[in-house]
Structure 1
Amino acid sequence: MSRWLPWTLIGLFASLPLAAFDLQSDAPIAVSADNARLDDAKGVATYTGDVVVTQNQTQLAADRVVLYRDAEGLKRIEAYGEPARYRQPATAEQAETRARARTIIYAARDSEITFKEQAVIEQGANLFRGEHILYDTAERVVTAEGGQTGDGSPGRVEMIIQPNAPSGTGNQP
């Protein structure tokens, strides 16, 4: 039985700029790492050791990152770490977004970002925490699972929303 708890977070995530990397942009995606293995025939590039992926000011940092390409271009980014970290800078409308999880998967064509294991998304003073968070960037819907506790009972999802924020911080729900 699924323990998914759907949340449509109008205030916190309705305008969340968590669109990840813009694969339609002309801005290059830069990757730096200690090691790289490129398998051109399979369209897979694996980077290990202090990996940093950057496009403009959006950044993903992890122990290991795998990029998947096909004839149409980059289609998927998987990041693994203790934890892997994602950061998207503030805009005029929104505070900086920071996220972390042991696994972060960006599936561009599915318009989904998945955060697995000890997942936390913070935007300004707002926070969303769960064991598994799925963000549908097209529909702007967040679905979260709390995981299981030590005694096998369902875990919880935690959300902290600031009821009032100073003008211009982008933290108002």
Structure 2
Amino acid sequence: MKPETNRNRGLMAALLAITLTGPAAAFELDSDIPIKVTADNARLDDNQGIATYTGDVELEQGETHLSAKRVVLYRDENGLNRIEAFGNPARYRQPSREGGGETDARALNITWSAADQRLIFERQAVIEQNGNLFRGDIIHYDTARRVVTAQGGADSGEGSGRVEMVIQPRSTDRRTDRQESDGSSEGQ
């Protein structure tokens, strides 16, 4: 791999980590707020610790929301430890940590792992927040360290297969203030 490619990937990861102010920990297992699941069908295998929900599945905890065609919950002796969602696409929404907007993410597969403190969006993954957009074949979000990494995929004809980012400027207030001070813009 070329050094330039490695440098670009490092820059991309740094930009994603700086601009994405995502959820604190996705689903809060230590919370007193229960996780509510509704679906058309449910199957619980208590011996295996697996619950499978199908048909317009809605999973909520407080303001965190996951919707999909199929959701599988895995639990062990410590409780719920993994959630897998499948849809066309599956969708994850949660208010941002700082209260400035909402994280709206979608992918064909979404996996949340309590042990890894990680959200993984796979296949046609898109995360939008406050006008910022991140698109890739696979997007990993480490909720503990607040680090996002994204990977492109094969060119499917619907795009280049590369990771795409749209990052909004930090503040548009400064440009507005400059224009209002003398009635003209700085660039004229």
TM-score range, shorter chain: 0.7 to 0.9
8 Å Cα contact 2:152-2:161 kept in structure 1: yes
Amino acid at match of 1:140: R
**2:40 is equivalent to residue 11 of structure 1:** no
The CA deviation string for residues 26-81 of structure 1, in whole angstroms up to 9 with x for no partner, is 11000000000000000000000000000011100000000001110000000000
Structure with higher RCO (Cα < 8 A, 6+ apart): 1
* Amino acid in the other structure paired with 2:101: A
Are the aligned partners of 2:109 and 2:122 in contact in 1 as well (CA < 8 Å)? Answer: yes
The higher radius of gyration belongs to 2
**Which of the numbers 18, 24, 31 marks the counterpart of 1:25?**
31
- Report the AA paired with residue 110 of structure 1: D
Contact 1:17/1:94 (8 A) holds in 2: no
Structure 2: distance between partners of 1:161 and 1:144: 15
Root mean square deviation of aligned Cα: 2.2
* SS of match in other structure, 1:22: coil
Alignment of 1:146-165 (within 5 A): 146-150=152-156, 155-165=161-171
Which residue in 2 is equivalent to 1:96?
102
Structure-2 residue corresponding to 1:118? 124
CA contact (8 A) 1:38 1:46 kept: yes
Q: Which has the higher helix share?
A: 2
Alpha-carbon shift at residue 155 of structure 1 (Å) = 2.4
Stretches of 4+ aligned residues off by more than 3 angstroms: 3-6, 90-93, 164-167
The equivalent residue for 1:68 is 74
TM-score norm. by structure 1 comes to 0.86
- Cross-structure match for 1:137: 143
Q: Which has the higher strand share?
A: 1
Amino acid at match of 1:11: I
Aligned residues: 163
Task: Report the Cα offset of residue 95 of structure 1.
Answer: 1.5
